[in-house]
Amino acid sequence: MVTTNGAGTAAVPAQPSYASGTSDVPLLGETIGADLDRTVARFPDRDALVEYATGRRWTYREFVADVDALALGLLDAGLGKGDRIGIWAPNRAEWTLIQYASAKIGAILVNINPSYRVHELEFVLNQSGIRMLVSAQRFKTSDYVAMVEQVRPQCPALEQVVFLDDPAWESLLRQDGDRQRLIGVQAELSADEAINIQYTSGTTGFPKGATLSHHNILNNGFFVGELCGYTEVDRVAIVPPFYHCFGMVMGNLACTSHGSAMVIPSEGFDPAAALSAVAAERCTSLYGVPTMFIAELGLPDFDGYDLSSLRTGIMAGSPCPAEVMKQVIDRMGMSEVAICYGMTETSPVSTQTRADDSLERRVSTVGRVGPHLEVKIVDPSTGLTVPVGEPGELCTRGYSVMLGYWQQPDKTAEVVDTARWMHTGDLAEMDSSGYVSITGRIKDMIIRGGENLYPREIEEFLYTHPDILDAQVIGVPDARYGEELMAWVRLREGAEELTAEALREFCSDRLAHHKIPRYVHVVDEFPMTVTGKVRKVEMREQAKKLLGLDAG
């Protein structure tokens, strides 16, 4: 059907919400190990890895020596291409060593969430068929040794367990074998082979193992680093956990593909340690999810940290509040800070803001599509691309899309279509310049009395309240409207208790009536994943109990 304008001539078709990332820089066509060797040859004496808490540090020459020794140790232990090696530990230097050593022999590294309990650990060990588990002995209140011993009889594929700081680990790391043997092994590897399994945090049932190749994660780390302007002089404070793409890809691989230094501030997130590491190591870049930056900015002695070395950084993992972004730029001096959007299944980054983007672009969008990638926004019901400015589901395609969920082709087919588009489940809009704004999850969208409400819009408004430090909006069951709005808020220190009536009064005349939360719940902390994402599913379940809505 051809539409016409008033004069009877064919109208110009609406611009579709589609963008592809052009680049003069080609994709990397090599393995992670080969890329590391290339970097070592260029920058052998520059810092590669710094563990701030212990003072341990490696130049690139020293780092690859330990990586190669560990790789030979893994080969001597009977591991090789395609075998699964699990890593269950917080952020420490050994995590990084095993990441690169496993890549050098073509083994598949299986990242295990440090917060997993026994039943989750058992599931991952069995579902991925892990032959060797490398584990910390404990982290926070978790006794990993006891937990491993508890599940080991139920995990027939698990042949070897090596605990960090044990003689077995030292033996594995101190192999002085034939480097030519390792070179021969590396020569037999393909960049398109699986190298990593990362389990997505499922909200129902058990998580799924996103399977990623050298090509997936090496290129994603490289191009994230390119857009951050990384060179061998950069030093990146990697605060997010390594078990997640934010830490091991956007952090480690972005650094090693550019000769930059990986700086580990602490095993788990500690806002004071993060800023201390930046100051002591003169970091040029700082990573974190918004809640991490909020905690750092909220330190009573924040002004006592010398952050003058910071140039850039990345905020990602969940929507970045505009007010927080402005403070990161103004108070931390991160003038080139980037917003990244992505998901584990896409290695992870699909869109990113650039250093020359305006403040408005960086606080209101997640940037433009990355190099060599495509994004489009489709109508979830029809699958057709919507015109610019209209909401829909964000889809992405290109080198970054996972090989699939480990041994779950049916689950893979639910999210990756026959044209290899990854359906993210996120609601988004694209403007005429290709900038993407994330408006929420399809499953988080609230339908109140037939009106589609997007929590992000309301949350951004709540941040303007002088007493609110952080805010999350969810939908709860309602007999009249189907769903009602509930705001969970964290208050600034010293603020008086905030009632629903007081918040509604604040919103009155500033926010449309149907967007004003009916319920308010003040909390000290939100339910969170280890990666800093708010668990709205858990919040909704708690809310139903708090409000006596279980029957709804």
CA 346/CA 396 separation, integer angstroms: 8
Exposure class string for 503-541: b at 16+ Cβ within 10 A, else e? bbebbeeebeeebbbbbbbbeeebbebbbbbbbbeebbe
pLDDT at 552: 43
DSSP state, residue 7: T
Q: Tokens 């999810």 belong to which residue?
A: 289
SS3 160: strand
Question: Hey, what amino acid is at 285?
Answer: S
Give per-residue pLDDT as tens, 56-84: 999 999 999 999 999 999 999 999 999 99
Give the CA diameter of the chain: 83
**Tokens 């988080």 found at:** 444
Strands 349-352 and 338-342: antiparallel
Mean pLDDT of the chain: 92
With the C-alpha atoms ordered 323, 329, 332, 338, is the resulting torsion angle positive or negative? positive
Domain boundaries, the chain: 32-430, 445-546
- How much of the chain, in percent, has pLDDT values that exceed 70? 96
- Under the banding of pLDDT at 50, 70 and 90, the label for residue 25 is very high
Phi, psi of 115 (to 5 degrees): -90, 0
Confidence band for 289, pLDDT divided at 50, 70 and 90: confident
* pLDDT at residue 3 greater than cutoff 70: no
**Cβ(50)–Cβ(262) below 8 Å:** yes
d(CA 340, CA 366): 6
* pLDDT of 529 above 90: no
User: Which pLDDT score is estimated for 530?
Assistant: 66
> Token pair of 381, please?
């019901």
Q: Please say if the pLDDT value at position 5 is more than 80.
A: no
Dihedral angle over CA of 469, 470, 476, 478, nearest 10: 40
The tens digit of pLDDT for each residue in 315-341 reads: 987 767 778 888 999 999 999 999 999
Residue 10 has pLDDT above 80, yes or no: no
Q: What pairs with residue 477 in β-bridges? A: 483
Q: Can you give the pLDDT at residue 317?
A: 76
pLDDT at res. 8: 57
Q: How distant, in Å, are the alpha carbons of 139, 163, 333 from that of 89?
A: 7, 10, 32
More confident residue, 141 or 49: 49
pLDDT at 441 exceeding the cut of 90: no
What is the rounded average pLDDT of the residues 28-42? Answer: 98
Nearest alpha carbon to residue 454 among 427, 423, 425, 486: 427
N-term to C-term CA, the chain? 45
Per-residue DSSP letters for 399-467? Answer: TTS-SEETT-HHHHHHHB-TT--EEEEEEEEE-TTS-EEEEEEGGG-EEETTEEE-HHHHHHHHTTSTT
Q: Which fold has domain 32-430?
A: Rossmann fold (3.40.50)
Q: What is the mean pLDDT of residues 446-464?
A: 83
**Domain with residues 445-546, CATH architecture:** 2-Layer Sandwich (3.30)
Percent residues over pLDDT 90 in the chain: 78
The pLDDT confidence band at residue 217, using thresholds 50, 70 and 90, is: very high
Q: What's 534's DSSP letter?
A: B
User: Which strand (E) or helix (H) includes residue 109?
Assistant: strand 108-111
pTM listed for this prediction: 0.85
Q: How many CA atoms lie within 13 A of 325 on its CB side?
A: 24
What pLDDT, on a 0 to 100 scale, did the predictor assign at position 443?
78
Answer yes or no: is pLDDT of 42 > 50: yes
Please give the pLDDT value at position 479.
83
pLDDT recorded at residue 551: 53
The pLDDT tens digits of the residues spanning 133-154 come to: 999 999 999 999 999 999 999 9
What crossing angle do the helices spanning 32-42 and 214-227 adopt, rounded to 10°?
Answer: 40
- Taking each helix axis from N to C terminus, what angle separates 60-76 and 93-105, rounded to the nearest 10 degrees? 60
pLDDT of residue 53: 96
Chain center to CA of 175: 34
Q: Report which residue type is found at 372.
A: H
Q: Which of 56-60, 228-232, 536-540 has the lowest mean pLDDT?
A: 536-540
Write out pLDDT tens, residues 482-523.
Answer: 889 999 999 998 888 899 899 999 998 788 788 899 999 999
Q: In sequence order, what DSSP letters do the residues of 215-257 get, joined into one string?
A: HHHHHHHHHHHHHTT--TT-EEE--S-TTSHHHIIIIIIHHHT
Which pLDDT belongs to residue 445? Answer: 77
Please report which helix (H) or strand (E) contains residue 477, including its range. Answer: strand 468-478
The pLDDT confidence band at residue 179, using thresholds 50, 70 and 90, is: confident
CA angle 532, 194, 95 (to 5 degrees): 45
Structure confidence by residue, pLDDT tens digits, 91-130: 999 999 999 999 999 999 999 999 888 988 999 999 999 9
312 — phi, psi (to 5°)?
Answer: -145, -165
d(CA 222, CA 182): 24
Is 458 a residue whose pLDDT tops 50?
A: yes
Q: What is the pLDDT of residue 457?
A: 81
Q: In sequence order, what DSSP letters do the residues of 352-397 get, joined into one string?
A: E--TTS-HHHHHH---EEPTTEEEEEE-TTT-PBPBTT--EEEEEE
Question: Cis (ω within 30 of 0) for the bond into 44?
Answer: no
pLDDT at 204 over 50: no
Q: Lowest mean pLDDT: which of 368-372, 444-448, 541-545?
A: 444-448
pLDDT surpasses 70 at 376: yes
486 is written with which tokens?
A: 């509930």
Look at strands 261-264 and 47-51 and give their pairing: parallel
Question: How do residues 306-322 score in pLDDT, each as one tens digit?
Answer: 999 999 999 987 767 77
d(CA 357, CA 164): 44
Residue 535 — very low, low, confident or very high, per pLDDT cuts 50/70/90? Answer: confident
219 pLDDT tier (thresholds 50, 70, 90): very high
